[in-house]
Structure 1
Amino acid sequence: MRGKTVIVTGANSGMGLATTVELARRGAHVVMLCRNEERGRTAWEKAVQQSGSDRLEMMLCDLGSQESIRRLAAQVKDRHSVIDVLVNNAGVVSLKRELTAHGFESHLGINHLGHFLLTNLLLESLTRAEEGRIVNVSSGIYKIGKIHWEDPTLTRGYNVAKGYAQSKLANVLFTKQLARRLEGTRVTANCLHPGAVATNIGVDRNTGFGKSLVGLLRPFFLTAEEGAETAVYLASSPEVKGITGQYFYKKKAQPVVAKAEDPEAARRLWEWSERQVGLSD
């Protein structure tokens, strides 16, 4: 990875931080995208210490704000003409229904639409790489997910599993359609299930609610470092050169259920997403 530029979203904690540290250890210049400046600065210091690398950069980006994403993308392109790897790792789990600044249900708005916009804005820089890679962190919960076309913001019958699963199915469909659209380029796109990882993803950022539950369950779950292994593999391994449009678990490509392989659903989601983030004509 020496000489390569990598962007990791949600890099301030959990798998994002673990992915950052490992790729920095391997010689990459890692741009850590963080929502909060104070937490981001603390994570940057930790990453420098743990990786032993000085090739780490922290930049602010709120994936729930399209203005923030556009501003960040412009800053990245000013600093880095070539991006070798984009790891779309950031994710939220919200026990109650919450909306982004643009009125999207937070799971779909951040986990999918935020990364959809960021990826599209950075595609030109990725195509300049000798071997560009896009790595989307999904989850096995996509199997129970459904794209609620008539009510994507889940105004009726919201629950956390419904919201999270919809966003994770969207991650897989996005990856499949992105890979199709990138045919003929040097850029690949793959997604992954990290396994059951004990992170703070479900902890309320404002109240801290959920910390005690995470603490109780931690012994039964993977560590952040273990959960990051497949993302690091997809970002760096020569074994996956040229492989695209696949869903990985434990560093192995796995088949997906039929609804995640549906090209019409993937196309429809792409076109809907373009309209929501202002990328369509």
Structure 2
Amino acid sequence: MAGKTVLITGGTGGIGKATALGLAVLGARVAITGRNADRASRAAEEIRAVASAPVEVFIADLSSQQEVRRLADEVLNTLDRLDVLVNNVGGFWNTRRVTADGLEYTFALNHLAPFLLTNLLLERLKESRPARIITVSSGAQAMGRMDFPDLLAERAYSGQRAYNQSKLANVLFTYGLAARLSGTGVTANVLHPGVVATAFGAEDPGRMQEFLTPLVQRWMKTPEQGARTSIYLASAPELDNVTGRYFANSTPKKSSKRSYSQSDIDRLWHVSSALVGLESDSERSTNPP
């Protein structure tokens, strides 16, 4: 990874920090994002101490579209190339929350944030080709379904359903993105990191999570183990031309049947573009600048 620049969202702890550290050890110039400046600074120092590599830090709350856009501007002004984007940030909330944009929090952070950030950074990734976009999903995608009539859970909310839907959205987004990037030299893949022992969901856990986590924690992966697939997708030479695939344990797998629905892929892209204020492909072609 020497000479490569990698941006990892949610890189201040857990899988994200382990991914940043692993890629820095391989020689990459690493940039991480986080909400808390002190925590981000400590994470950067830890990475520098082990890898003796440069680490850039960007502070942003990715649940806010204004913050995502500000982050993208800062990244473009700071990083003259971007070889790998790792969309790692995400979370689980048992009770429904609303973002500054008036959107359901889980869908906004887990899907719309990487959707918007990736689109805003696409030209820099294309300029740096060959480049890679990696999105961290979850095995929960297999239980997800896109409830388009109530996408933001305004009628009924379940923390688990919202999470499952957002993780399915990560896969649908990746498949749609890979098709759009065909021939550009930029690949897009998505992964399940495994069940990892982190502070994931601790801010607002469900009752089942509170009960089960202490019981199964000893069998969970460490953050370092959970980061292995992200590191593999970011660095493995044999994946130069592999795109539009779902990985688990560094191995390509079949994702859920729903994730291959072309109508859902197209509909999600159109709806997401509208929710984040981006022109859809059709609008761009029919209304050229």
Report the TM range for the smaller structure's normalisation: over 0.9
Which ranges of structure 2 fall in alignment gaps of 5 or more residues?
284-289
Conserved 8 A contact 1:200-1:214: no
Corresponding residue for residue 38 of structure 1: 38
Corresponding residue for residue 5 of structure 1: 5
**For the residues of structure 1 that align with 2:86 and 2:273, how far apart are their CA atoms?**
20
SS at match of 2:148: coil
**For the residues of structure 2 that align with 1:48 and 1:213, how far apart are their CA atoms?**
36
**For the residues of structure 2 that align with 1:35 and 1:95, how far apart are their CA atoms?**
20
Q: Deviations over 1:241-269 (max 9, x none)?
A: 10000000111111122210011110110
Matched residues, percent identical? 43
How far the C-alpha of 1:31 sits from its partner, in A, is 0.5
Q: Deviations over 1:68-127 (max 9, x none)?
A: 111111111111222000000111110111111111111110000001000000000000
SS at match of 1:150: helix
The structure 1 segments of at least 4 consecutive aligned residues displaced by more than 4 Å after TM superposition are 210-216
How far the C-alpha of 1:202 sits from its partner, in A, is 0.7
SS at match of 2:56: strand
Alignment of 1:118-137 (within 5 A): 118-137=117-136
Q: Deviations over 1:175-195 (max 9, x none)?
A: 000000001100000000111
**For the residues of structure 2 that align with 1:186 and 1:52, how far apart are their CA atoms?**
29
Corresponding residue for residue 157 of structure 2: 158
Give the TM-score taking structure 2 as reference length: 0.92
Conserved 8 A contact 1:83-1:125: yes
**For the residues of structure 1 that align with 2:160 and 2:278, how far apart are their CA atoms?**
29
Alignment of 1:5-84 (within 5 A): 5-49=5-49, 51-84=50-83
**For the residues of structure 2 that align with 1:217 and 1:141, how far apart are their CA atoms?**
17
Give the TM-score taking structure 1 as reference length: 0.94
Aligned residues: 277
Alignment of 1:1-281 (within 5 A): 1-49=1-49, 51-204=50-203, 214=213, 217-280=216-279, 281=283
The 3 A distance-change label for structure 1 pair 92 and 225 is: same
Which ranges of structure 1 fall in alignment gaps of 5 or more residues?
none
Conserved 8 A contact 1:85-1:132: yes
Query: What is the RMSD computed on CA atoms of the aligned residues?
Result: 1.7
